[in-house]
Structure 1
Amino acid sequence: MNVQEMTVLYVEDEAITRMYFARMLSKRVKEVVLAKDGQDGLDKVNESAPDIIITDINMPVMDGREMVRRLREKGCETPIIALTAYEYTKDELRVDDVIRKPVNLERLMSSISSLYAS
Protein backbone atom coordinates (compact mmCIF):
# COMPACT_ATOMS: atom_id res chain seq x y z
CA MET A 1 0.00 0.00 0.00
CA ASN A 2 1.18 3.47 -0.84
CA VAL A 3 1.47 5.87 2.13
CA GLN A 4 -0.75 8.40 0.30
CA GLU A 5 -3.57 5.83 0.32
CA MET A 6 -3.50 5.20 4.08
CA THR A 7 -5.94 6.04 6.81
CA VAL A 8 -4.02 6.92 9.97
CA LEU A 9 -5.49 6.96 13.47
CA TYR A 10 -3.58 9.50 15.57
CA VAL A 11 -4.18 9.29 19.34
CA GLU A 12 -2.87 12.25 21.36
CA ASP A 13 -4.26 14.01 24.43
CA GLU A 14 -2.53 17.38 23.89
CA ALA A 15 -4.79 19.36 21.55
CA ILE A 16 -2.06 21.55 20.04
CA THR A 17 0.16 18.55 19.28
CA ARG A 18 -2.82 16.59 17.93
CA MET A 19 -3.79 19.39 15.54
CA TYR A 20 -0.20 20.04 14.41
CA PHE A 21 0.46 16.40 13.50
CA ALA A 22 -3.01 16.04 11.97
CA ARG A 23 -2.20 18.92 9.65
CA MET A 24 1.25 17.55 8.78
CA LEU A 25 0.05 13.97 8.29
CA SER A 26 -2.96 15.03 6.20
CA LYS A 27 -0.52 16.38 3.59
CA ARG A 28 1.04 12.91 3.28
CA VAL A 29 -1.76 10.35 3.79
CA LYS A 30 -5.32 9.94 2.51
CA GLU A 31 -7.11 10.41 5.83
CA VAL A 32 -6.23 11.24 9.43
CA VAL A 33 -8.66 10.18 12.16
CA LEU A 34 -8.08 11.87 15.52
CA ALA A 35 -8.62 10.55 19.05
CA LYS A 36 -8.03 12.39 22.32
CA ASP A 37 -7.21 9.39 24.55
CA GLY A 38 -7.00 5.61 24.53
CA GLN A 39 -10.74 5.04 25.00
CA ASP A 40 -11.52 7.39 22.14
CA GLY A 41 -8.84 5.57 20.14
CA LEU A 42 -10.50 2.19 20.73
CA ASP A 43 -13.82 3.60 19.57
CA LYS A 44 -12.24 5.12 16.45
CA VAL A 45 -10.46 1.85 15.53
CA ASN A 46 -13.84 0.17 15.35
CA GLU A 47 -15.36 3.04 13.33
CA SER A 48 -12.57 3.82 10.86
CA ALA A 49 -10.52 0.60 10.40
CA PRO A 50 -7.21 2.50 10.10
CA ASP A 51 -4.23 1.16 8.18
CA ILE A 52 -1.88 2.32 10.95
CA ILE A 53 -2.25 3.63 14.51
CA ILE A 54 0.04 6.28 15.98
CA THR A 55 -0.41 6.79 19.71
CA ASP A 56 1.00 8.78 22.56
CA ILE A 57 1.70 6.58 25.58
CA ASN A 58 1.02 8.85 28.56
CA MET A 59 -2.57 10.10 28.42
CA PRO A 60 -5.44 10.58 30.87
CA VAL A 61 -8.63 8.47 30.86
CA MET A 62 -6.90 5.49 29.17
CA ASP A 63 -3.23 5.60 28.29
CA GLY A 64 -1.66 4.27 25.13
CA ARG A 65 -0.29 1.14 26.84
CA GLU A 66 -3.77 0.06 27.91
CA MET A 67 -5.26 0.86 24.50
CA VAL A 68 -2.56 -1.20 22.75
CA ARG A 69 -2.99 -4.07 25.24
CA ARG A 70 -6.75 -4.19 24.56
CA LEU A 71 -6.28 -4.00 20.79
CA ARG A 72 -3.72 -6.82 20.78
CA GLU A 73 -5.89 -8.98 23.05
CA LYS A 74 -8.72 -8.59 20.52
CA GLY A 75 -6.37 -9.83 17.81
CA CYS A 76 -5.77 -6.45 16.18
CA GLU A 77 -2.77 -6.74 13.85
CA THR A 78 -2.83 -3.12 12.65
CA PRO A 79 0.69 -1.67 12.85
CA ILE A 80 1.09 0.64 15.84
CA ILE A 81 3.71 3.32 16.38
CA ALA A 82 4.14 4.58 19.95
CA LEU A 83 5.27 8.14 20.65
CA THR A 84 6.85 8.71 24.05
CA ALA A 85 9.33 10.79 25.98
CA TYR A 86 10.30 7.71 28.01
CA GLU A 87 12.55 4.72 27.36
CA TYR A 88 10.35 1.83 26.20
CA THR A 89 11.05 -1.03 23.84
CA LYS A 90 8.71 -2.25 21.11
CA ASP A 91 8.27 -5.52 23.00
CA GLU A 92 7.35 -3.79 26.27
CA LEU A 93 4.61 -1.82 24.55
CA ARG A 94 3.57 -4.52 22.04
CA VAL A 95 3.97 -2.05 19.16
CA ASP A 96 5.77 -2.09 15.82
CA ASP A 97 7.94 0.97 16.46
CA VAL A 98 8.72 3.43 19.26
CA ILE A 99 9.61 7.03 18.45
CA ARG A 100 10.96 9.31 21.14
CA LYS A 101 9.48 12.75 21.70
CA PRO A 102 9.95 15.39 20.49
CA VAL A 103 8.88 13.64 17.31
CA ASN A 104 10.64 14.37 14.05
CA LEU A 105 8.02 14.23 11.29
CA GLU A 106 10.43 12.75 8.75
CA ARG A 107 11.39 10.00 11.22
CA LEU A 108 7.68 9.28 11.73
CA MET A 109 7.03 9.13 7.97
CA SER A 110 10.04 6.86 7.54
CA SER A 111 8.64 4.50 10.17
CA ILE A 112 5.22 4.47 8.48
CA SER A 113 6.81 3.72 5.11
CA SER A 114 9.06 0.97 6.45
CA LEU A 115 6.15 -0.78 8.18
CA TYR A 116 4.46 -1.14 4.80
CA ALA A 117 7.59 -2.04 2.87
CA SER A 118 8.07 -5.20 4.93
Structure 2
Amino acid sequence: MRQCINMRSLSDVALVLQNATELSYCSIWNCEEIECVIDLVSLSSLCSHVLKLQMLVLGRLPKLCELVSVEGTPMPLRIFSSLKYFHITRCSGIRKLFPVELLQGFQIWR
Protein backbone atom coordinates (compact mmCIF):
# COMPACT_ATOMS: atom_id res chain seq x y z
CA MET A 1 0.00 0.00 0.00
CA ARG A 2 1.35 3.36 -0.97
CA GLN A 3 0.10 6.89 -0.41
CA CYS A 4 -3.22 5.81 1.09
CA ILE A 5 -5.60 8.58 2.03
CA ASN A 6 -7.73 8.42 5.19
CA MET A 7 -6.35 5.02 6.22
CA ARG A 8 -5.48 4.71 9.92
CA SER A 9 -4.75 0.95 10.07
CA LEU A 10 -5.00 -2.29 8.06
CA SER A 11 -8.45 -2.70 9.56
CA ASP A 12 -9.62 0.12 7.27
CA VAL A 13 -9.09 -2.16 4.26
CA ALA A 14 -10.46 -5.31 5.91
CA LEU A 15 -13.19 -5.74 3.29
CA VAL A 16 -10.61 -5.77 0.50
CA LEU A 17 -8.47 -8.34 2.31
CA GLN A 18 -11.45 -10.48 3.36
CA ASN A 19 -11.43 -12.46 0.08
CA ALA A 20 -7.66 -12.97 0.05
CA THR A 21 -6.65 -16.56 0.71
CA GLU A 22 -3.33 -15.71 2.34
CA LEU A 23 -1.46 -12.54 3.25
CA SER A 24 2.23 -13.33 3.68
CA TYR A 25 3.76 -9.95 2.72
CA CYS A 26 2.62 -6.46 3.67
CA SER A 27 4.31 -3.18 2.75
CA ILE A 28 2.92 0.20 3.82
CA TRP A 29 4.66 3.38 2.59
CA ASN A 30 3.83 7.09 2.51
CA CYS A 31 0.44 6.74 4.20
CA GLU A 32 0.39 9.91 6.26
CA GLU A 33 -2.67 9.03 8.37
CA ILE A 34 -1.55 5.56 9.55
CA GLU A 35 -1.48 5.54 13.38
CA CYS A 36 -1.11 1.79 13.90
CA VAL A 37 -0.72 -1.21 11.63
CA ILE A 38 -3.29 -3.35 13.43
CA ASP A 39 -6.25 -2.11 15.43
CA LEU A 40 -7.33 -5.07 17.60
CA VAL A 41 -10.76 -3.56 18.20
CA SER A 42 -11.68 -4.16 14.54
CA LEU A 43 -9.26 -6.99 13.76
CA SER A 44 -11.69 -9.91 13.62
CA SER A 45 -11.97 -10.06 9.81
CA LEU A 46 -8.19 -9.67 9.40
CA CYS A 47 -7.10 -12.04 12.14
CA SER A 48 -6.47 -15.14 10.03
CA HIS A 49 -4.50 -13.10 7.46
CA VAL A 50 -2.31 -11.35 10.03
CA LEU A 51 -1.50 -14.65 11.74
CA LYS A 52 0.11 -15.83 8.47
CA LEU A 53 2.07 -12.63 7.82
CA GLN A 54 5.76 -13.44 7.18
CA MET A 55 7.14 -10.09 5.98
CA LEU A 56 6.20 -6.61 7.20
CA VAL A 57 7.80 -3.48 5.70
CA LEU A 58 6.87 -0.02 6.97
CA GLY A 59 8.25 3.32 5.82
CA ARG A 60 7.55 7.04 5.82
CA LEU A 61 4.60 6.85 8.19
CA PRO A 62 4.88 10.07 10.24
CA LYS A 63 1.80 9.42 12.45
CA LEU A 64 2.60 5.78 13.20
CA CYS A 65 2.85 5.60 16.98
CA GLU A 66 2.41 1.88 17.66
CA LEU A 67 2.40 -1.34 15.72
CA VAL A 68 -0.66 -2.79 17.46
CA SER A 69 -3.43 -0.76 19.09
CA VAL A 70 -4.91 -2.76 21.95
CA GLU A 71 -7.44 -0.35 23.56
CA GLY A 72 -8.47 -2.77 26.33
CA THR A 73 -8.81 -5.75 23.99
CA PRO A 74 -7.01 -9.00 24.90
CA MET A 75 -4.05 -9.49 22.59
CA PRO A 76 -3.75 -12.75 20.67
CA LEU A 77 -0.25 -13.97 21.58
CA ARG A 78 0.36 -15.50 18.15
CA ILE A 79 -0.56 -12.39 16.16
CA PHE A 80 2.90 -12.13 14.54
CA SER A 81 4.12 -15.66 15.22
CA SER A 82 4.85 -16.32 11.50
CA LEU A 83 6.78 -13.05 11.04
CA LYS A 84 10.27 -13.73 9.62
CA TYR A 85 11.24 -10.30 8.32
CA PHE A 86 10.40 -6.87 9.75
CA HIS A 87 11.73 -3.56 8.42
CA ILE A 88 10.77 -0.10 9.63
CA THR A 89 12.20 3.21 8.44
CA ARG A 90 11.29 6.89 8.72
CA CYS A 91 8.52 6.40 11.26
CA SER A 92 9.52 9.18 13.64
CA GLY A 93 6.35 9.10 15.75
CA ILE A 94 6.71 5.49 16.89
CA ARG A 95 6.31 5.12 20.67
CA LYS A 96 5.64 1.41 21.18
CA LEU A 97 6.89 -1.12 18.67
CA PHE A 98 5.95 -4.48 20.22
CA PRO A 99 3.93 -4.80 23.44
CA VAL A 100 5.37 -7.28 25.95
CA GLU A 101 2.40 -9.63 25.45
CA LEU A 102 3.16 -9.83 21.74
CA LEU A 103 6.83 -10.67 22.26
CA GLN A 104 5.84 -13.91 24.00
CA GLY A 105 4.62 -15.29 20.66
CA PHE A 106 7.90 -14.62 18.79
CA GLN A 107 10.41 -17.27 17.89
CA ILE A 108 13.98 -16.42 18.81
CA TRP A 109 16.64 -17.01 16.13
CA ARG A 110 20.07 -18.04 17.35
TM range (shorter): 0.3 to 0.5
TM-score by length of 2: 0.34
**Which structure dedicates a bigger proportion of its chain to helix?**
1
TM-score by length of 1: 0.33
Between 1 and 2, higher relative CO (CA 8 Å, sep ≥ 6) is seen in 2
